[in-house]
Structure 1
Amino acid sequence: MNSGLLGNHFITQIGIVVNDIEKTSQAYADFFGVNKPDTIITDTVDIAQTEYRGNSSVARAKLAFFNMGSLQLELIEPDLHPSTWREYLDEHGEGPHHIAFVVEGMKEKITLLEGKQMQLLQKGEYTGGRYAYMDTFKELKVIVELLENDK
């Protein structure tokens, strides 16, 4: 089967931006009948090496993850610094921000998508890997996140 531009077609995660992660996380926990996950805060720029629209960014966010079998639901409460999360929340309000795919060869995938007019919005590091948000909104009506995990 054709695996498309990313090398696979399996959605790993759905990300939702919210104003109040504690309230929304509890609502999802109650809805799913599961324990409310711990909230974490993204690393500082010196560790995460966050870049937003080509510039270093101190933006951080509170995150909560619900592992739902083969799909993870990520809740994101951004701080007030410029980021794709803050921009999306300010322009569209709360709701779906991205769908994520695990990829191999992050730099190559970014270059491939940019060649198709899907620009890099934000990238950074996390413990065990890296992420990149690509501006696929015009074509796909949602941002695509690329996740590359260290081996």
Structure 2
Amino acid sequence: MHGAPAGGSPPGLPLPLRGLPVAQIGILVPDLATGIRAWSALLGRDDWLVYTYGPESVPRLTYRGRPGTFRARVALVGAAPQVELVESLAGPSAYCEWIDEHGHGLHHLGFRVPSMEDTVRAMTAGGVALLQSGHGYGLDGDGGFAYFDTRSGIGCIAEAIEVPRRRRPPEPIPARSG
């Protein structure tokens, strides 16, 4: 990013995330099957893991401080950083807000954190708005994500990610659309 010191954090990254490497680049796509085809060609790989997140698979969802009902289908590939394609299926959500304001494309940078609870507490205490979150999507009821409004500091959303010890099995890659 322009203005970021070599090897350092971008200016404006909230203190609890400073020094953490970008673990994920989140991209909103209008259709996951089409997005996977396009990004497979760009990245030269097709080993995507697909998951649907919503009330049926994530027991504790929030959106702007209230219980959340949003649904999204995601496809994950790679590491350091991982690319995540996100298709919004139902809102309201931070995804729907972003699409309404900016359209599809880059949405968030994800950072792996050791404790979602501690990160949410520190971020909100520092005045960073929590947009949406989800907890309990792992097989053991662990795993969480939280999106914070960091647009004024880094130009996109920041996501804190607490990876579950065990993920549920991935879904099939969606069939070709349109």
Aligned residues between the structures: 150
Between the aligned partners of 1:24 and 1:2, the Cα distance in structure 2 is 31
In percent, how many aligned pairs have the same letter? 31
> C-alpha displacement at 1:38, in angstroms?
4.8
Structure 1 stretch displaced more, 28-37 or 130-139: 28-37
Q: Which one has the bigger strand percentage?
A: 1
Is 1:130 matched with 2:144? yes
| Unaligned stretches of 5+ residues in structure 2 | 1-6, 10-14, 166-178
Q: TM-score, normalised by structure 1?
A: 0.87
Q: What's the counterpart of residue 101 of structure 1? A: 111
Q: What's the counterpart of residue 85 of structure 2? A: 75
Is 1:13 matched with 2:24? yes
Q: TM-score, normalised by structure 2?
A: 0.75
Kindly provide the amino acid, as one letter, of the partner of residue 88 in structure 1. W
Q: Once the two structures are superposed, what CA deviation does each residue of 1:99-131 show, in whole Å capped at 9, x if it has no partner?
A: 011112322222222233211111102214111
| Cα distance change, pair 53–45 in 1 and its aligned pair in 2 (3 A) | farther
Q: What's the counterpart of residue 144 of structure 1? A: 158
Moved over 4 A (4+): 1-4
| Cα distance change, pair 2–88 in 1 and its aligned pair in 2 (3 A) | closer
| Unaligned stretches of 5+ residues in structure 1 | none
> C-alpha displacement at 1:148, in angstroms?
1.5
Q: Secondary structure at the match of 1:86?
A: helix
2:70–2:90 contact (8 Å) kept in structure 1 = yes
Structure 1 stretch displaced more, 29-38 or 2-11: 2-11
| Cα distance change, pair 150–27 in 1 and its aligned pair in 2 (3 A) | closer
Q: What's the counterpart of residue 33 of structure 1? A: 44
2:66 to 26, 38, 55: 55
Between the aligned partners of 2:154 and 2:43, the Cα distance in structure 1 is 28
Q: Once the two structures are superposed, what CA deviation does each residue of 1:61-116 show, in whole Å capped at 9, x if it has no partner?
A: 0111111x421000000123201111111211011111011112322222222233
